[in-house]
Structure 1
Amino acid sequence: MFSIGDFARLGRVSVRMLRHYDALGLLRPARVDQASGYRYYEAGQLSRLNRLLALKDLGLSLHEVGPILEEKVGPAELRGMLRLRHAELEAQVADDIARLARVEARLRMIETEGAMPADVVIKSVSGVRLAELSATAESYESDKIGPVIQHLYADLVERLDDAGLTITGPAVAWYEPVPDGVRAHAGAPANLEPGRTYDFDVVDLPSVEQAATTIHHGPMDDVSGTYEQLARWIEDNGYQSSGIAREVYLHYGDGDPASWVTELQEAVTRLA
């Protein structure tokens, strides 16, 4: 038998917690000295302690743990529960990291409020034929539209490879509002063959007579600040948006994200 102190050390818990588990009837000592009141535990009780701690880490309250322990949850069932919780925690961590990145991006936007607008060039944009896939995102927010676009491009590249085609220029993304969110279009110019049928769409984006264009540096997670500067420039210089916008990925996805370059193109007309 082991004293409560030794058992706590072996089980990696505190003596205080063992006393608490005893009071709740979750883990009774194997023996209590009647004269001194000292608690003693057997090595076999470490198994119950491990199950108790595992269930607690699953997010169950101690009051919920008791009945499950009495049902003598087997190792296989407990292992499955822990794996499920592990996956949930991984997803939660990923969500928290993404949320932190969005908060940092918003802070950068706030810190640059009032700064001079980004360099903007008014130019015509040529039409382009694209291999394209599209899907609906819940909204324009980075955490909603980003995963959709990323999945579409991964799928498009795979389909182009399967068709024996190569991408011949910068990828182009464009968006349109739909009743249930935003339709995101992921396209890329490729050596498409006339008359051939593909398992993706072939789309001809028309030319744009006038587009206000600017360059966004870095990943698209914090593109909102660049869009805000572009919008301010359009308004301050007597233009209005015609609702057609494109993102041209001049250099994206390889190397240091800080080196990625995207041209934002917003079709505009001059106010009378």
Structure 2
Amino acid sequence: MFTIGDFARLGRVSVRMLRHYDSIGLLRPVAVDARSGYRYYTADQLRRLNRVIALKDLGFTLAQVQTVLDDALDVEELRGMLRLRRAQLEAQVAADTARLASIEARLRAIESEGQMATHDVVLKELPPLRVAELTGVAASYEPADIGPAIQPLYPELFRRLTSADTSPTGPTLAYYEPADDGEKIVVHAALEVAVSPDRAWDLAVVDLPAVPAAATVIHRGPMDEVAGTLQLLARWIEENGWRADGFPRELYVEYCADDPAAGVTELQQPVTRA
């Protein structure tokens, strides 16, 4: 048999952890000296310890680990738990990947500072538009939240327009407005059309009013790298005595769903005199 210290070293865990596992009944020593209280373990118990550590590293709670190791679950239940954990880990990896992409985009925005000049900004009036649109809600205005909320709307919008035997008359666009609760954003995926609303269609046809003044600039590349272009736009607005009024509209001059890097977008920020 091994003392708790020797067993901890062989199992590459701490003595404190083994004492905790004993206290909750997850891994009890085979013997405890009645006078000294010393705990003793056997080599065969390393098998259970290794399984405890492996399942814990997968994200299972100690209560779940104990249930699994004590064979209280049948094969299908265990398979279900493992599948659920796999899905959770995959979602976490996807979220971390998106977060890394966002960081990279911010870094590129910092590196590109000063490469675009404010004379690239054009002040103009935006005419009224009639658009067919679908809407959704994003958790916030961050690219990581906006993209997943609005991108699936465009193929569905095209599909519904085709079903309604209607063709767009202009490029795709997006516009935004705050939702009623906190930071959430209502996203509008839209296409310019020249038709009247029809209750038979499963999409909305709305009229966007004219915008008397908008500071506009061309952004090239994916929208998750728009931070640098928005920074340029903000500098122009400030330097020229204007004030931003609401969210910028996005007019997709070249909409490249399969190759976002090839996208060309005109950012249209409504402004008023400061």
Could you report, residue by residue, the CA deviation over 1:67-87 in whole angstroms, capped at 9, with x for unpaired residues?
531234322111111100110
- The TM-score with structure 1 as length reference comes to 0.73
Q: How many residue pairs are counted as aligned between the two chains?
A: 244
Structure 1 residues not aligned, in runs of 5+: 1-14, 29-37
Distance 1:195 1:269 in 2: 35
Contact 1:27 1:49 survives alignment (8 Å): no
Which residue does 2:105 correspond to in 1?
105
Q: Once structures 1 and 2 are overlaid, which stretch shifts more, 151-160 or 137-146? A: 151-160
Residue type of the alignment partner of 1:123:
K
Taking the aligned partners of 1:18 and 1:195, their CA distance within structure 2 comes to: 70
User: Could you tell me which of 219, 224, 227 is aligned with 2:222?
Assistant: 219
Residues 240-265 of structure 1: CA deviation (Å, up to 9, x unaligned): 33436311011123453221111001
Which residue is equivalent to 1:147?
148
Counterpart pick for 1:267 among 248, 253, 270: 270
Q: How far does the alpha carbon of each residue in 1:166-208 deviate from its partner, in whole angstroms, 9 at most, with x for none?
A: 3332111111223313222111124635656421110111223
For 2:243 and 2:104, how far apart are their aligned partners in 1? 30
Cα 1:19–1:53 shift into 2, 3 Å: closer
Q: Percent identity?
A: 51
Q: Distance in 1 between matches of 2:193 and 2:122?
A: 27
Aligned partners of 2:92, 2:162: CA distance in 1, in Å? 34
Task: Please name the residue that 1:5 is paired with.
Answer: none
On the 8 A contact 1:214/1:264 being kept in 2, the answer is yes
Contact 2:125–2:213 (8 Å) recurs in 1: yes
Query: What is the TM-score with the length of structure 2 in the denominator?
Result: 0.73
RMSD of aligned Cα (Å): 3.6
Equivalent in the alignment of 2:205 = 202
SS of corresponding position for 2:89: helix
Moved more, 191-200 or 244-253: 191-200
Aligned to 2:35: none
Alignment of 1:81-96 (within 5 A): 81-96=81-96
Gap regions ≥5 residues in structure 2:
1-8, 30-41
Aligned to 1:128: 129
Query: Given the alignment of the two structures, is residue 253 of structure 1 paired with residue 256 of structure 2, yes or no?
Result: yes
Corresponding residue of 1:157: 158
Change (3 A) 1:69 1:196: closer
> For the Cα contact (< 8 Å) 1:54–1:82, is it kept in 2?
no
